[in-house]
Structure 1
Amino acid sequence: MHVPDEVKPRRRQARGERRIAQLLDAAATVFRTTGYTAASTNAIAREAHVSPGTLYQYFPNKEAIAVELGERLLHRMREAHGQAFTPANFDLPLAEMLDAILDPMIEFNCANPVFLALMHGSDVPGRIAEEHDALHASLLTRVEELLGHYLPDMPAADRTRTASMAFALFKAGLDLVIGHEDEEREAYVRELKLVMFRYLEPVIGHVVPADRGTTPRHDATASLPGIHTP
């Protein structure tokens, strides 16, 4: 059967995209298990079940693989941020807001365990580190905006401090969540949400968002899934 010439480049392009995806999946496994510094292109090629020569057709070195993988992961994480930090979520009671904001973030990190291994590596390529730092800064800004939504008169320094502490608590709990599986992971997710609730509830748990008025509301009956709050 004759294949039109214009179809052939599209097929080659599709095969190339599949091969790149295969190599990136293999790199994610290697980076996660050995770390970025100890990883090698030979190990990635073995994990992908291809020859080193095939790998070099698509990537000149380990750094190029890490940069491509890092950019794709950062794009997915930005999408998770977009699902989490929405105006509608800001108007929810604290417990429900934590579900709405934390669930997409936890889901992303559990689905992409290589993210923390790659982004926190001591020898991670500078380009990835810079983009990660920018993303980290944007996340802190969103948390500060959330606090300002509830407490517009909160001093900027207090808002920054509270946002930074909340983010640090989340990262610490996330390491434990990722380190476990199945029911134990679900238990750590509940613990993480409880910690976040206990930290934020004295700050914003009894206050309605600023654009809906300033009348305090009682929120102590709010509960997280599987967690009873007094």
Structure 2
Amino acid sequence: MSDTSEKEQPRRRQARGERRIAQLLEAAAQVFCTTGYTAASTNAIAREAGVSPGTLYQFFPNKEAIAVELGGRLIHEMRETYGEALAPVDPVTPLDEVIGAAIDRFMAFNTAHPVFFALMHGPDMPGGITEAHDQLHTTLVGRIEDLLGSLLPEAPAADLTRTAHVCLGIYKAGLELVLAHQGAERAAYVQEIKNVLIRYLEPLVGDRCGRT
């Protein structure tokens, strides 16, 4: 066997392993969304993936390990999403544009990955991703504060923090309704969330920045 062939074999095995892991994570996402984390089982995930439980155990020892891996990947992607969605803006940017752009990016992520809500906001969050979720929440609030600070440059830090928490709470509450609907009805709920945030922030932006 040539040196080139010997080097290619480990790469092929690694590629097959990565594809299998992706297959198992996709199946787990479907099962977690359908049954919730607590009721899910490794057997159900293996069945959804079309593999034997033994194959699953070659890659993950239990369902929490699957959830931790899936959650970690989603958290990484979410960080990229809010990096784009919550960048500070020019203070003269119309509020509806600021809210619309941020909500559209976050909704695109959450509707593409409904398991993120199922894992991160459900009552049975896996213990292994609790710390990562808490860090994400803290950083996310901080980025919302930065965005609000660009709109409300004279607002006290405590006010920005409180407002950021309220904005995030409104989004999370509305997200559950959005994920429960499809098509035009889903789009209508997304617009309602935007409307609520605009009406909540409009008086603050108007008072502090001289807008009407």
Normalising to structure 1: TM-score of the pair?
0.85
| Shift in Å, 1:207 | 5.4
Q: How many residues align?
A: 211
Which 10-residue stretch deviates more, 87-96 or 46-55?
87-96
How high is the sequence identity, in percent, across the aligned residues? 62
Letter in 1 for 2:197: M
Going from structure 1 to structure 2, the CA distance change for 1:4 and 1:21 (only over 3 Å counts) comes to same
Letter in 2 for 1:203: L
1:94–1:197 CA contact under 8 A, matched in 2? yes
1:89–1:100 CA contact under 8 A, matched in 2? no
* TM alignment of 1:74-89, pairs within 5 A: 74-88=75-89
Q: Distance in 2 between matches of 1:9 and 1:89?
A: 51
Going from structure 1 to structure 2, the CA distance change for 1:80 and 1:96 (only over 3 Å counts) comes to same
Partner of 1:94: 95
Partner of 2:5: 4
| Shift in Å, 1:120 | 2.5
5+ unaligned residues in a row in structure 1: which ranges?
Answer: 209-215, 219-230
1:93–1:205 CA contact under 8 A, matched in 2? no
Going from structure 1 to structure 2, the CA distance change for 1:207 and 1:68 (only over 3 Å counts) comes to same
Going from structure 1 to structure 2, the CA distance change for 1:91 and 1:40 (only over 3 Å counts) comes to farther
| Shift in Å, 1:127 | 3.0
Going from structure 1 to structure 2, the CA distance change for 1:189 and 1:121 (only over 3 Å counts) comes to closer
Partner of 2:62: 61
| Shift in Å, 1:157 | 2.7
1:41–1:52 CA contact under 8 A, matched in 2? yes
Normalising to structure 2: TM-score of the pair?
0.92
Letter in 2 for 1:121: G
1:81–1:105 CA contact under 8 A, matched in 2? yes
Partner of 1:161: 162
Q: Distance in 1 between matches of 2:122 and 2:170?
A: 20
Letter in 1 for 2:30: T
Q: Distance in 2 between matches of 1:190 and 1:32?
A: 24
Partner of 2:178: 177
1:23 aligns with 2:36: no
Going from structure 1 to structure 2, the CA distance change for 1:202 and 1:171 (only over 3 Å counts) comes to same
Going from structure 1 to structure 2, the CA distance change for 1:30 and 1:14 (only over 3 Å counts) comes to same
Q: Distance in 1 between matches of 2:31 and 2:200?
A: 37
CA-to-aligned-CA distance 1:94-113 (integer Å, 9 cap, x gap): 01101221111111100000
Which 10-residue stretch deviates more, 195-204 or 137-146?
137-146
1:89–1:101 CA contact under 8 A, matched in 2? no
* TM alignment of 1:118-157, pairs within 5 A: 118-157=119-158
| Shift in Å, 1:122 | 3.4
Letter in 1 for 2:24: L
* TM alignment of 1:170-209, pairs within 5 A: 170-205=171-206, 208=209
Going from structure 1 to structure 2, the CA distance change for 1:125 and 1:149 (only over 3 Å counts) comes to same
Going from structure 1 to structure 2, the CA distance change for 1:7 and 1:90 (only over 3 Å counts) comes to farther
1:90–1:97 CA contact under 8 A, matched in 2? no
1:70–1:128 CA contact under 8 A, matched in 2? yes
Q: Distance in 1 between matches of 2:211 and 2:201?
A: 15
Letter in 2 for 1:48: A
1:117 aligns with 2:90: no
Q: Distance in 2 between matches of 1:89 and 1:42?
A: 52
SS in 2 for 1:169: helix
CA-to-aligned-CA distance 1:142-169 (integer Å, 9 cap, x gap): 2222222233332333222222111111
Q: Distance in 1 between matches of 2:148 and 2:206?
A: 11
Which 10-residue stretch deviates more, 73-82 or 86-95?
86-95
